[in-house]
Structure 1
Amino acid sequence: MEFAKKKFGQNFITDKNLINRIIDILDQEEDHLIIEIGPGRGALTKELINRFSKVIAIEIDPDMESILKSEIKSEKFELIIEDCLEVNFKKLIEDNKFKKVSLISNTPYYITSEIIFRTLNVSKFLDKAIFMVQKEVAQRICAKANENNYNNLSVAAQLYSDIKYEFTVNKNMFKPIPKVDSAIISLTFNEVNLKKVNDDAKFVAFVRKLFNNKRKTILNNLSNITNNKEEALNVLDKICLNQNLRPENIDIDKFIEMYNEVY
């Protein structure tokens, strides 16, 4: 029996009901490419293969290669042993001609934000993404304006998708048992908000800068971007936004209006 490795943030799912509950969130169209990040010992992978046309699993730990290849004998399965942050997802999707493509990840806690931002960057090639993350991180990603933990990642996720907090996963459902509970969130991608900005990467960077000093007012934060307090004040007046609000009080619609006034 291989032991989970702390350096890779490995915690394996063992409960069959939980596995099915996670996979049920996906659109159940058989002609469907599933990209799985962090398959571990393949518990989720095996069920994905039962349901869908192709599963590409990306695993950072070379020691898992022999386990996965010995336990999964299917032409529908492809294994890539590589750091998911180094994988060219766009090329991977383009090389596999599927009408529907989804991503699923039992996300290592230490690189959660990086994986989510990388997924958002290729969202136009994806239909849906499911992430298992720490409960606190899930609440942050799903937060709306004026809620606890609302931040630039919350806004970025809303730019690309409809986000849903699906359910909480008790820490005792993993081996080894992590210190905190996890949660499943889903992102269903669409271009509703994307069409409102001229450059999505520039918008995300803009929002990130506004959240750099969360305790400062939006006027102060915007002034740092425009390098001109008067100009920042004019922008806020034009979009009818109170200059004393803080970034966590502002919804995505107002961030989009503000961005479009500045750029």
Structure 2
Amino acid sequence: MEFAKKKFGQNFISDKNLIKKIIDILDQDEDHLIIEIGPGRGALTKELVNRFAKVIAIEIDRDMEQILNSEISSNKFELIMKDCLEVNFKELLQNEKFKKVSLISNTPYYITSEIIFRTLSISKNLNKAIFMVQKEVAQRICAKANEKNYNNLSVAAQLYSNVEYEFTVNKNMFKPIPKVDSAIISLTFNENNLSKVKDDIKFVSFVRKLFNNKRKTILNNLTNITNNKEKALDILNKININENLRPENINVEQFIEMYNEVN
């Protein structure tokens, strides 16, 4: 038996009820391509292959290659042995013709943000994404304005999707047992907010800059971007945002209004 590797942030799940509960969150349309990041030993992958038209699994750990190929013998399964951060997802998807495309990942804690931001960058190619992440990260992504965990990642995720905190996963469900509980979140992609910004990449960068100094007022942070305090104040007055609020008090719609005024 292969053991989980700390350097890859591996924690394996094997509980069949938990696996079913996770997969049930996906749209159950059989004409569906699933991209799985980090299949590990394939516990989730097997059930995905049973249910959907095609599963492309991306795995970095070479020791898992033989296990996955011997455990899953199906023409519906494709394994890519590569670091997911080096995969060109747009290129991967351009030849695939499915009614729906979803992404699912038991996300290694050390690259959670990178995987989520990369997923957001291909949101127009996806219907849904399901992430298993540390509970604290899940709370952050799902947080709304005025909640303590709210930050630029919360705003970015909510620009591209409807975000749902699905359920908490007790750390004892994993092997090896991690130090903290995890949670399942789902992102259902749509263009409700996306259609309101002129450039989504620049918007995400704009919001990140505003959160660089969370303790400073929104006026101070916006002044750092405009290099003009009067201009920053005019923008805030125009869109009716109190200059003394801090970034964590500003909701997604207000950030969109602010960005569109600056640009």
Write the distance in 2 (CA, Å) between the matches of 1:96 and 1:40.
24
Write the distance in 2 (CA, Å) between the matches of 1:240 and 1:192.
22
Residue matched to 2:20 = 20
Residue matched to 1:185 = 185
Residue matched to 2:221 = 221
**Correspondences of 1:132-151 after superposition (within 5 Å):** 132-151=132-151
Instruction: Give the residue type in structure 2 aligned to 1:259.
Output: Y
Q: Deviations over 1:7-57 (max 9, x none)?
A: 000000010000000000000000100000000000000000000000000
Deviation, 1:95, is 1.7
What's the RMSD between the two structures over aligned residues? 0.4
Q: Deviations over 1:135-191 (max 9, x none)?
A: 000000000000011000000000000000000000000000000000000000000
Residue matched to 2:203 = 203
Write the distance in 2 (CA, Å) between the matches of 1:126 and 1:93.
10
Residue matched to 1:253 = 253
Name stretches of at least 5 consecutive residues in structure 2 with no aligned partner.
none
Residue matched to 2:48 = 48
Name stretches of at least 5 consecutive residues in structure 1 with no aligned partner.
none
Write the distance in 2 (CA, Å) between the matches of 1:19 and 1:70.
20
Write the distance in 2 (CA, Å) between the matches of 1:55 and 1:191.
26
Write the distance in 2 (CA, Å) between the matches of 1:93 and 1:100.
11
Deviation, 1:97, is 1.3
TM normalised by structure 2 equals 1.00
Instruction: Give the residue type in structure 2 aligned to 1:90.
Output: K
1:155 counterpart = 2:155: yes
Write the distance in 2 (CA, Å) between the matches of 1:148 and 1:23.
30
1:237 counterpart = 2:211: no
Residue matched to 1:83 = 83
Write the distance in 1 (CA, Å) between the matches of 2:77 and 2:160.
29
Identity of aligned residues (%): 83
Residue matched to 1:29 = 29
Structure 1 stretches of at least 4 aligned residues deviating more than 6 Å after TM superposition: none
Deviation, 1:87, is 0.4
Residue matched to 1:61 = 61
Write the distance in 2 (CA, Å) between the matches of 1:131 and 1:45.
14
